[in-house]
Structure 1
Amino acid sequence: MAPFSIRRLTSSDAEAYRAVRLDGLLKHPEAFGSSYEDEASRPIEVTAERLDSGFVLGAFDSDEKLMGVAGLAIQTATKAKHKGTLWGMYVLPEARGTGLSRLLVDGIIAEARGKVERLLLTVVSSNAAALSLYRKAGFVEYGLEQRALRVDDAYFDEMLMALPL
């Protein structure tokens, strides 16, 4: 495994985060609820604020290049604040197969532990690598949303997964 460092991203990481996020949205539009067009049109200040107000982990290589990201959102509604969501997971192609994805998932789980009882995520059901990663981390499927996402004229199902903490 290549040496990676994992840390919480802040507004000072906005440009690097945006570049990685846009890469994912462009190359894998079926994997995200957001679109490349929407994200690219947002002012960088919105991205910076999202990083400072939320929880997003970044994985950096030995040259301090951002190679992957994953976010954690914790519900704030009284009846749902026992749940968190792993969102926006993406690793640049050149860092895949290095164990980096697992480091990010484990980092999100560690942050969620003690704060929520269940960690949820959705993943496109045809993404075998991601499904395998999440299963190995302890997530289990609890449902399938058919036609959850539409990209142009193609529909994609999403697997609903949960990890009891």
Structure 2
Amino acid sequence: MRVRRLAPRDADAFRALRLEALRLAPFAFGAALAEEEHRPLSWFGQTLGHAAVFAAEHGPGQLGGMLGYRRDSLLKRRHIGHLWGMYVRPKARGQGIGAALLEAAIAHARAEVSVLQLMVGEGNPAARRLYERAGFTLYGTEAASLRVEGVEAVTLLMAMRLG
């Protein structure tokens, strides 16, 4: 397995993985499949040009998982980074891909920010444990943060200090 930062030329693979994630894990993401499945390929390429998205290659030319990072753009919040879009394909789980992606994103963020934040669904205890092992702590919850087909979910807010 190799973790690397995706570039705009990876837009096809990123799009496929992102849409799979939105389809298979609707409670794990704020975006909905219906919002992103009709976006042009150029939109995915532009996203990769503006955000750091790390991917784990799991086999030749096959992405097994991804994790995005972006720095807050507001002047008074530029010390805060955000992790988003963590997804590991079902067949690639249990092989350390999530931890490797997290390690790469944290290493990248250390050069830019002093606080790293993320959101994780209350119904995803495995992801919460992964984040806690990396050093994230719970600082709040967001009640009814997502509604998927009439079902509401609670999101946990987690953060870690860097450096």
TM-score by length of 2: 0.97
The one-letter code of the counterpart of 1:63 is P
Q: In 2, Cα distance between the equivalents of 1:108 and 1:154? A: 31
Cα RMSD between the aligned structures? 0.8
Gaps of 5+ in 1: none
Matched, 1:127 2:105: no
Q: How many positions carry a matched residue from both structures?
A: 162
Matched, 1:28 2:29: no
Matched, 1:41 2:38: yes
Identity of aligned residues (%): 40
The one-letter code of the counterpart of 1:128 is P
Shift of residue 114 of structure 1?
2.7
Matched, 1:10 2:7: yes
Moved over 2 A (4+): none
Matched, 1:145 2:142: yes
SS of 1:79's equivalent in the other structure is helix
Once the two structures are superposed, residues 6-49 of structure 1 have per-residue CA deviations (whole angstroms, 9 ceiling, x without a partner) of 11101111111111111110011011000001110100101011
Equivalence for 1:71: 68
Q: In 2, Cα distance between the equivalents of 1:85 and 1:160? A: 11
Matched, 1:97 2:94: yes
SS of 2:37's equivalent in the other structure is helix
Q: In 2, Cα distance between the equivalents of 1:52 and 1:5? A: 20
SS of 2:18's equivalent in the other structure is helix
Q: In 2, Cα distance between the equivalents of 1:52 and 1:74? A: 13
Which of 104, 117, 121 is the equivalent residue of 2:114? Answer: 117
Q: In 2, Cα distance between the equivalents of 1:23 and 1:62? A: 18
